[in-house]
Structure formats: structure tokens, C-alpha cells
Chain A
Amino acid sequence: MSVAASPRGYIDRPRPSGLADVIDVILDKGLVIDAYVRVSLIGIEILTIDARIVIASVDTYLRFAEAVNRLDIAHDDTTHGLPELMESLTESGSSGKTKGVLEGAKESLFGGGDDDDDDDKQNSQSRSRSRSRASSRSGSSSSRSSRSRSGGGSSSGSSRSRKKSS
């Protein structure tokens, strides 16, 4: 399995991938056999929200309005490192409804703590928008990499350049 993201204008071939790009098809596609035999998930309340509604929401409109307003004004894209990401994962926790493995993961990573921080959610949202365009990959690989049982990396090493848009 492989992924390639184009540094703008150039793309070689599909390259080693990770979860981010396959998660969509894994969760939403595939042969549907029978709804009622689906696995029940730990402590998760079933909520469905149409993605189209989210995209067409007031939040999106205001963001677009703000964005067009700020065009022609120099905008600083700061890189946010992994520690901040990890921090925001523990602080905001989804909606407080997940238990079990989630708590366990938090504890093993950060020794517990469960602060809710709206600002962090807001921040991770706005920086994620610049981040999602910032990465670009180059190089080549056509072989599948083997994965260890404990969840080792799913792609071979390669050099990569980060390109920021502003």
C-alpha cells in the first residue's frame, strides 16, 4: 500500500502509506453484510452528522469570510510540532464519552489528566488547515513494507520536503 502527495506539480507514483489516507475507505466502504451484526464500540454514543452540513455550516462561512478578508495581509504559518498535537489529544478528548482504551492510552502517554480546552480545539483546527497542505513527499518506493505485530511503521524511510503555503 502506498501514498504519494505531490509537491505541487510533480508526482511520481503511489507511495507507502499510513492510516490517514485509508481510514475513509476502511470505515465507510466495503461489502455490507448485515447491519445488526456490527461490533459494538466501547462507550460511544451513536451520532451521525452529514459531512455536507458541516461543510456548509456557519463556521465555514465565517472562516471563508475571514480568510478573504485577510488576503493581501501577510500571514504567518507557524509549524506546530508533535508535542502540541499530543497535548491537544489529551486535553480536549473527544466529547468525554469514550472510555476504556482511550483512558488507558492517555495514561500510558501522559499520566492521566483530563482538561477540556476549547482554545486548543480551536487552535488545532486552524493550524491543521495550514498543516494539511504543508507536507509534500518525494522519492520512490514500490514494495510493500512489512509491519510488525506491535504496530510498527508502515512505510519505508524517505526524504521529504515541507512546503508551506502562505
Chain B
Amino acid sequence: MSEPAVYVYGVALAGCKGISTRGVDAARVRLLQHAGLTALLSDVSTDQLAAAREVRAHWRVLDEASESCTILPVRFGTVMESEDAVRERLLEPNGERLQGLLRELDGRVQLVLKGEYDEPQLLREVVRESNTISELRDRLREVPPEAGYYERIRLGELVAEHVGHRRAEDTRIALETLEPLSVAAREDEIRQADSAFNIAFLVDRDRLEAFNQGVRELAAELGDRIALRYVGPLPPYSFADVELDTEAAAWA
């Protein structure tokens, strides 16, 4: 009889309290201790899961866990063959690396800051700042809609390029204000045309208020141009970089 496969939520040092919220596949979440580490697991009995629903479960488990310990989230959807596999292929060969990373993350949380442009305002500024753009725009207004397709694309391209410069500048401003108040900062990729920036910060829990204050100051500086979404505290999803070795123990 083979062991059930296990879904892995995250890894912590010792000290996590039990998790009451149900996990993926509505299963109970349990703790596995090994090599000075704790892995959060649950059994997975089906081979296909309704993934979207499980995102919520994954999120909530990590959220609850982070109330009692510093937990390093594992990428959503990670399933290992068995509890033994977790012990022998994840924790055992990577004990030191993971402990090292977790010690660095201890007492620290992730805050995410996203900026979104007020597009009409941004575009007004772009047109004001660039003669090329405003001239091309004015020329196009004299042309019937069916004509000038290529020119419209060109106009849009120029605008997009200009917006790219603004993004870079606004990101720089955000980092300038907040990086000094944080342990680390990671820029995430822009996924929407009206995004200004999307930055994850690792912040000491006891410096949180100072960081909040920094965000307030940044908001005042950016004013009406950019709307901020300030998310957190989260477990350190974006700071999980450690090279893992999952094959070593297989050859032991």
C-alpha cells in the first residue's frame, strides 16, 4: 500500500502551532519536523484538483501559519510523492540552506506596494511633455478614422515608450523612499498597462510603523498621479530564493 502523496505549503523552523484551517482538498494540515525544520503538509488523495479553489486554501493555510511562526511559502501546487520524500529529498539535503534562509527571514514580513496610474492624467502629462506626441496626435485628428491606422499605432507606441520612462522614474522614487526602511526590495513584473510599479519589501516587524510612515510620505509625494495599493503583512513569498537540491538524498 503506497503512502498518499502530500501537498507542501511551506517550511518553517521549529515552533509553528497547529493549523486549524482546512487545506487543499479540504484535508487537515499537519506538521512534519525534521532536520531542524518544520514542513506544513496535507494528504492529497485525488490526482486532479480544482486548482482555483485550492489557491484559496493554500493562501489561508499560510496566513494562519504565519501568525505563529515565520514560514517560507512553497510555490502553489507543489506535491511530493510522500511524507518520506519530503523528509529525505526536501528537508534532509537542504536543511542548512533552508535554516539559513529562515533565520534571515525570522521576525520579518512582506509588504507589497503597487502603484496604478490615473491614466487620463498621465496621458495629459505625456502629451504635454512630448512635442512629437502632441503633433502626431493633432495630425491624426484631421484624418478620418479609417485612415491613419499605422500612424495611430505609431502614436500609441510613442506614448507607451514615454509611459515606460515614467514608470522607471516613479519606481525609482518609490524605492528611494522605502528601500532604506526595509531589509530588501524586489520589483515584480508589470502586468497591466496602467501599472506604475509593483514592489515587494521585506520589513522587520518592529520597523513596520516606520515603513507605514514611509508609505504615507510616498503617497503624499505621488499625490493624485498614482493610486497606491498597500498589501500586507504577508509571509515572505517573494524572498524565497535558495537553490534547492532534491536529488542528493536519492543517491545516499
Contacts and interface: CB of A to CB of B under 8 A. Distances in A.
A62 B229 contact: no
B233 interface: yes
Given A21-B229, A41-B51, A1 B224 contact: no
Interface residues of A, number: 66
Contacts of A58: 153, 156
Given A40-B48, A41-B51, A55-B190, A68 B79 contact: no
Nearest to A40: B48
Given A26-B58, A39-B49, A60-B156, A4 B73 contact: no
A147 to B, nearest CB: 6
B41 to A, nearest CB: 12
B13 interface: no
Contacts of A6: 219, 227-230
Nearest to A51: B191
Contact of B224 (A8, A61, A62, A132): A8
Nearest to A135: B227
Contact of B155 (A30, A31, A64): A64
Contacts of A136: 227
Contacts of B215: 11
Interface string A119-147: 00000000001001100100000001001
B241 to A, nearest CB: 8
A4 B227 contact: no
Contacts of A27: 55, 76
Contacts of B165: none
B133 interface: yes
B54 interface: yes
A137 to B, nearest CB: 9
B244 interface: yes
B17 interface: no
Contact of A5 (B55, B127, B159, B230): B230
A4 B54 contact: no
Interface stretch (A12-20, A85-93, A108-116): A12-20
Interface in B1-47: 7-8, 10-11, 21-22, 44, 47
A28 B73 CA distance: 11
Given A25-B112, A33-B90, A68-B126, A8 B75 contact: no
B107 interface: no
23 contacts: A3-B229, A5-B229, A8-B223, A9-B220, A11-B228, A19-B55, A21-B112, A22-B231, A25-B200, A29-B237, A32-B78, A34-B80, A34-B244, A41-B49, A55-B191, A63-B193, A64-B160, A64-B193, A65-B159, A75-B120, A147-B60, A165-B121, A166-B120
